[in-house]
Structure 1
Amino acid sequence: MELQDIDLNLLVVFNELLRQRRVSAVATSLGISQPAISNALNRLRKVLGDELFLRTSKGMVPTPFAETLAEPIGYALGTIHNTLNVTPEFDPASTSRAFTIAMTDIGEIYFLPGLMKRLALVAPGITISTVRDQSDTLRDEMERGAVDLAIGFLPDLKTAFFQRRLFRQRYVCLFRKGHPFAESGLTMKSFLNAEHVSIIAEGTGHGMVDTAIQRAGVQRNVRLRVPHFVAVGHIVQETDLIAVVPEAYAARTLAPFDLLSAPCPVRIPDITVNVLWHARNHREPSNQWLRQLVFDEFAV
């Protein structure tokens, strides 16, 4: 006999009859009707070719064959039950788990100092690797478990993904302290007259900045285009170029590079920065712990 030849629910009925010896008691225990219990027993009798239980004044008494089946079936059902109900434990203080988090260079600048400082206190054995959060490849990497979490503005990750909002932020203009805007202020006219560094950030949601500016009918004087944000602070510090950047990036670069920021005169939609994970990791204890730590540390 093969497993596909038998309904395993019949073995649950069999095990309960061994334990309680009364059809009414088994029906109550399993939450089904007495006729359904009797029907299950009849089906099992046909499959196994034995009466299995005999009705007596003392209840349902197992046959010798049923008694030989009692221990192995009880053990097998107990093993299945325990396996399905096990709750894996995760101890951050003692683990040496390695996590991979997808984020942009802005994310590395904004999140990693605080995250690594926190991990040093509560989970010193954990190591972190980062990869770029370009949505065209990130979906596949998270589906196969190569990336544990993603942090950022990733509107394309929807189906099969969960997310929690960390904060919303606006875009601002970034320029050096000695810039003429530091005295005169940044207006639409000065924004149009200024020379700009444009950040492409291909594969991320930040590409919508140029689209939003164009839709507003504004034509920027772009003198420099770079693929990412990491050099923008250095560039703006040494030139009169201005950059339109997320407020989180500005917050981390103003002091180190002696820069100033001002609201962008062109209306650009606010963005939502989320922590995201794939459904495959939704109940995985270490993933649950890390994303909660990120939320506790950075959510506003």
Structure 2
Amino acid sequence: MELKNIDLNLLLVFHQLLAERRVSKVAETLGMTQPGVSNALKRLRVVLGDELSVRTAKGMEPTPYAAQLGEPIGYALSTIFDSLNEGVRFDPGTSSRKFKIGMTDIGEVYFLPALMAALRQVAPDVTISTVRNTAVNLQDEMEAGHIDMAIGLLPQLKSGYFQRKLFRQRYVCMFRKGHELDKASITVEEFERAEHVVVVSGGTGHAIVDQTIERLGINRRVCLTVPHFVAVGHILSASSMIATVPERYAMACMKPFGLKYVTHPLSLPEVSINIFWHARFNKEPANQWLRRLIFERFADGGVISAA
């Protein structure tokens, strides 16, 4: 038997008959006429080569073959229904959705511990994977639907993207406890004389800080340049270097690495950390749910706008 010979509507009528046992009730439930239900059952009997039901005092009783078909057909119809409605509802408590989020190593350090703890409470089977904003063509990957959303300082995401501000943050000076600059504040001269580790984080907006420092005519003693932030805590804890880093990253590094930070002596621009998502996901329920969860956990305020 070929599936092309089976009308899905006939299986729906059959499934409902097994549940209701009366043609009149099936017609009422499915919004059909009784002759329409009878005709559907007649067509299905011809296709399957079985009477499917016999009339008894208790209603229409399934034949042994019909009873055998009942469970797998019911499961198949349920699966089709769930698949068709996946786009209009999302239950985090039962979902096993896999989300892919673009973020930097700073984002992983700051967001992931709290985000994963929240997911374990409300969506234990939902999983997250991250991809570096700098390791892929983020714009194309999000447009293709391969990445659900991105978090960070991402000026390259413009037309076709939505964004929601999580918070603004300043840059600070970070160093190990006991450093000679470990005091309430430091001067521009002390900052300039110190040994620096500098992070060149391509593909993000953090370069604006280095550009500002250069524009102010500050000549730092740059001893080390690295392409990411993830090693900075280790480096500072074992050296006398200092680093200019986002404050929330500094907050996350203090306890694990025994570090301190102070207000930056230079007037550096604050930056806005946003959630970005492509227009194709704007009304997708699962995406909406995760964006809302992130916003509730991390936002200082902000409104939705088109990027």
Q: Same fold (TM over 0.5)?
A: yes
* CA deviation string 1:203-240 (max 9, x = no partner): 11111121010111111110000010001001001111
Aligned-partner Cα distance in 1 for 2:293–2:278: 17
Does the Cα contact within 8 Å between 1:135 and 1:156 map onto a contact in 2? no
Aligned-partner Cα distance in 2 for 1:194–1:263: 15
Aligned-partner Cα distance in 2 for 1:198–1:211: 12
Aligned-partner Cα distance in 1 for 2:181–2:232: 18
Unaligned runs of 5+ in 2: 1-84, 301-307
The residue that corresponds to 1:192 in the other structure is 192
Which residue type is aligned with residue 220 of structure 1?
R
The residue that corresponds to 1:91 in the other structure is 91
Which residue type is aligned with residue 228 of structure 1?
H
TM superposition shift of 1:181? 0.7
Identical pairs, percent: 54
3-state SS of the aligned residue for 1:205? coil
The residue that corresponds to 2:275 in the other structure is 275
Aligned-partner Cα distance in 2 for 1:247–1:193: 22
Does the Cα contact within 8 Å between 2:185 and 2:263 map onto a contact in 1? no
TM superposition shift of 1:185? 3.9
Unaligned runs of 5+ in 1: 1-84
TM-score (norm 2): 0.68
Does the Cα contact within 8 Å between 2:87 and 2:284 map onto a contact in 1? no
The residue that corresponds to 2:266 in the other structure is 266
TM-score (norm 1): 0.70
TM superposition shift of 1:183? 4.3
1:287 aligns with 2:287: yes
Count residues in correspondence. 217
* CA deviation string 1:89-134 (max 9, x = no partner): 1111101100000000000000000000000010011010000113
The structure with the largest helix share of the pair is 1
Aligned-partner Cα distance in 2 for 1:86–1:141: 22
3-state SS of the aligned residue for 1:168? strand
The residue that corresponds to 1:8 in the other structure is none
Aligned-partner Cα distance in 2 for 1:273–1:185: 26
The residue that corresponds to 2:153 in the other structure is 153
Which residue type is aligned with residue 261 of structure 2?
S
3-state SS of the aligned residue for 2:182? helix
TM superposition shift of 1:264? 1.2
Superposed counterparts of 1:1-300, under 5 Å: 88-134=88-134, 137-183=137-183, 185-300=185-300
Aligned-partner Cα distance in 2 for 1:126–1:210: 38
The residue that corresponds to 2:6 in the other structure is none
Q: Which contiguous aligned blocks of 4+ residues in structure 1 show a shift greater than 6 angstroms?
A: none
Which residue type is aligned with residue 115 of structure 2?
L
User: Could you say if the C-alpha distance between residues 183 and 267 of structure 1 is closer, same or farther in structure 2, counting changes exceeding 3 Å?
Assistant: closer
Aligned-partner Cα distance in 2 for 1:183–1:170: 19
User: Could you say if the C-alpha distance between residues 192 and 120 of structure 1 is closer, same or farther in structure 2, counting changes exceeding 3 Å?
Assistant: same
Does the Cα contact within 8 Å between 1:136 and 1:203 map onto a contact in 2? no
User: Could you say if the C-alpha distance between residues 197 and 122 of structure 1 is closer, same or farther in structure 2, counting changes exceeding 3 Å?
Assistant: same
Aligned-partner Cα distance in 2 for 1:255–1:92: 33
Aligned-partner Cα distance in 1 for 2:164–2:174: 28
Aligned-partner Cα distance in 2 for 1:185–1:294: 33
Does the Cα contact within 8 Å between 1:135 and 1:154 map onto a contact in 2? no
Which residue type is aligned with residue 152 of structure 1?
G
